[in-house]
Homo-oligomer: A and B are copies of this chain.
Amino acid sequence: MGKIDLNKSQKKLSLLNTAFELFTTKGVNETSIAEIAKAAGIAKGTFYLYFRDKYDIRNKLISYKAGSLLIAAAEEVQSKEDVESMSLTDRILALVDFIITSLEEDKNLLMFISKNLSWGIFRESMKDSLEEENDEDFKNAFYDLLSLTEDNYKDPEVMIYLITEFVSSTCYNSILYEEPCNIEHLKPYIFETIRAIIKQHEPNA
């Protein structure tokens, strides 16, 4: 990667980081492209060299942030010494636990990806890949970790979908507003429900 490419990447990253900062602080609707560009220290026109419009950068940001979180979670779980001996259920619960903890520690991130950590946004926003990463990369990292395909789970995609939607939608109010209860109180219910979901998909179910 040459110097110019580096500069390009720097500008793009600067735009992404600045946009994330502004989107989480002021909201997407209330943030203008001029603001993003100014805060990123580049000219307004330059923005359009990297992104089509505000929604383009927003979508890239969501998949970038959500993907990063998933990959970090997967890596965390895979780095455990006893990962090989863990059951699929335990690996999923460890993954979810890591994600919930991460979102507790970064409420801006939670607010931003909140209910977007879902199937839909992956499908849409991943059409144009960010930094050569794409939908498949994420899916693969995820599936590989969980060895879903090997184990003949029934409707594994549906299972992942149900867990993803369940976790992301229930955590939002609990972490941000402690509604209807705080996340510590909610976690056992979430984990138990995940166990029940997985059980339905087990090969011998």
Chain A interface (Cβ within 8 Å of chain B)? 29, 115, 118-120, 123, 155, 157-158, 161-162, 165-166, 168-170, 172-173, 177, 179-181, 185-186, 189-190, 192-193, 196-197, 200
- Contacting residue for A162 out of B155, B157, B170, CB 8 A: B170
A-B contacts, 14 of them at CB < 8 A, read: A115-B169, A119-B179, A123-B179, A158-B185, A158-B186, A158-B189, A161-B173, A162-B170, A162-B193, A165-B166, A166-B170, A168-B169, A193-B193, A193-B197
> How far does the Cβ of A111 sit from chain B's closest Cβ, in whole Å?
12
Q: Are B196 and A120 in contact (CB under 8 A)?
A: no
Q: Is the interface of A mostly helix, strand, loop or mixed?
A: helix
> How far does the Cβ of A66 sit from chain B's closest Cβ, in whole Å?
15
Q: Are A172 and B120 in contact (CB under 8 A)?
A: yes
Q: How far, in whole Å, are A197 and B181 apart by their CA atoms in the complex?
A: 16
| Residues of chain B contacted by A29 (CB below 8 angstroms) | 29
- With A166-B193, A196-B196 given, name 14 new contacts (CB 8 A): A118-B169, A118-B173, A120-B179, A123-B179, A155-B185, A155-B189, A157-B180, A158-B186, A162-B166, A162-B189, A166-B169, A192-B200, A193-B193, A193-B196
| Residues of chain B contacted by A189 (CB below 8 angstroms) | 155, 158, 162, 197, 200
- Contacting residue for A115 out of B115, B119, B155, CB 8 A: B115
Q: How far, in whole Å, are A125 and B29 apart by their CA atoms in the complex?
A: 19
Q: How far, in whole Å, are A118 and B173 apart by their CA atoms in the complex?
A: 9
